[in-house]
Amino acid sequence: MTIFPSRLRPMHMALVLAWGAGCGLVQAQSLVDLFRAAQGYDATYQSAKILYDSSVFKAEQSRALALPTVTLGAVGTQSQRNSSTASPQDLSYATQNATLSATQPLYRPSNTATMEQSKRQLEQARAVLSTAEQDLIVRVSQAYFDVLGSQDTLTFVRAQKTAVAEQLASAKRNFEVGTATITDTREAQARFDLVVAQEIAAENDLRVKKLAMDQLVGKNGSQPKPLATLVLPEVKPADPQAWVEQGLRQHPTVLRAKLQVDVAKLDTAIAQAGNKPTLDLTASSFINRNTSGSDLNAIDSTLTRQNIGVTFSLPLFAGFATTNKIKETLALEDKARSDLEAAQRTVEQATRTAYFGVVSSMGQVKAFEAAETSSQVALDANKLGYQVGVRINIDVLNSQSQLFQTKRDLAKARYDVLLGSLKLRQANGTLKSDDLQGVNALLAP
């Protein structure tokens, strides 16, 4: 990855220091710290993780189809007969039966297809979890940069307020000595009142953005670290088609769609197994014990029997249910292929859009950097012109407003580059939590 040449401007350093002083920089958290906190708190991500865990156990269940089944059954009865004849005899009857049976599938095509299907479904669940993790990375990053952007806006508005206040005081002094009209004072006062309103709005926006981040990461008073450098990563490779091809290979949505095609094919195999024979190995052991007699004599007998063999079954006719089931699964195969094609088209479009979005943001950064320099020169020239009487107060006020608006736009464009780079990787499905380390390297220590 290549980077732009590093340039630390005085205003940027002042912004970082002001941000740290106002928010407690020592206790601030990095993007990685807040992402890890969100992993353990965010309900949406936790739901996807639990769903994946359940899919693991579900896949293990299918293994039972290839293993033997063993059952044990037992029955015991006791009977008593009393007689009131001249020679009474009390008769009793007792019977105990126990059966141990086992079945081992030898040839069951449907079981084999079902086990393969479970493996594909587990891979689908893994792709769903990957999608949820990428979504969480972007949501945390979005909230992170929203807070930084709101903090920058508030800092710039307060700096503009100070500058307008100085211009208002200057206009008042010039009016008192007769070198300026009351119009200059009123224009400066109007601009000052407007900036105060903007400051109130900026303070509330920052408060709302912080609440949103706290809700996402499960921390109260979370403080993201500000950018400490102007070094920005370039897009590599600088070819949108390369990003698209990578996305078509690795994007979780595409992988899920491909796996769904496999699942649909296995559904057809399961349906076709309805016309195929099955073969099982069976074994059983039976014990029967009978006890009967009277007070004078008793009989006790035991019978033991063992069986082992194979069970063969061949479906002959099921009322066309199997035939129609096969037709249904074949139609679902076509649907799965159409869904795969739609997923590939969506990924391709999203990847190209994200790529050109990052390129556009990087171009805006360069343009705003030039505009910031030009706006500063224009402001200095207007201040000098106002002092010598060739510019009026509104010219200075407009130049100040333009300069601080440019600074806000420049800060936002930098955040858009960093966030856009993460969204590009999300668009082509390669976003990992390790990618946040690159952003962390740009933050204040």
Q: Which domain holds residue 253?
A: 10-67+109-275+319-440
**What is the number of structural domains in the chain?**
1
CATH code (residue 150)? 1.20.1600.10
**Higher pLDDT, residue 11 or 259:** 259
**Half-sphere exposure for 29 (CA within 13 Å, toward CB):** 22
102 is a domain residue: no
290 is a domain residue: no
pLDDT tens digit sequence for 110-165: 999 999 999 999 999 999 999 999 999 999 999 999 999 999 999 999 998 998 89
pLDDT tens digit sequence for 297-352: 667 788 899 999 999 999 998 889 999 999 999 999 999 999 999 999 999 999 99
- Distance (Å, whole) CA 442 – CA 144: 14
pLDDT tens digit sequence for 363-415: 999 999 999 999 999 999 988 987 887 787 888 888 888 999 999 999 999 99
pLDDT at 17 over 90: no
33 is a domain residue: yes
Q: Is the peptide bond before 237 cis (omega within 30 degrees of 0)?
A: yes
308 is a domain residue: no
214 is a domain residue: yes
What would the DSSP string read from start to end of 92-132?
Answer: EEEEEEEEEEEEEEEE-HHHHHHHHHHHHHHHHHHHHHHHH
pLDDT of residue 22: 46
Strand partners, 227: 443
List the one residue out of 72, 68, 70 whose CA is nearest residue 108: 68
314 is a domain residue: no
Cα dist from 272 to 105, 174, 264, 276, 314, whole Å? 18, 95, 12, 7, 13
Sign of the CA dihedral running 249, 250, 253, 255: positive
What are the backbone angles phi and psi of residue 80, rounded to the nearest 5°?
Answer: -135, 130
Q: What is the pTM of this model?
A: 0.83
- Distance (Å, whole) CA 122 – CA 60: 10
Q: Residue 123, Cα to own-chain centre: how many angstroms?
A: 16
- Distance (Å, whole) CA 148 – CA 216: 16
Cα dist from 27 to 31, 32, 354, 444, whole Å? 13, 14, 33, 12
| SS3 (DSSP) at 80 | strand
288 is a domain residue: no
Sheet holding 91-107, edge to edge: 69-81, 91-107, 278-293, 298-313
42 is a domain residue: yes
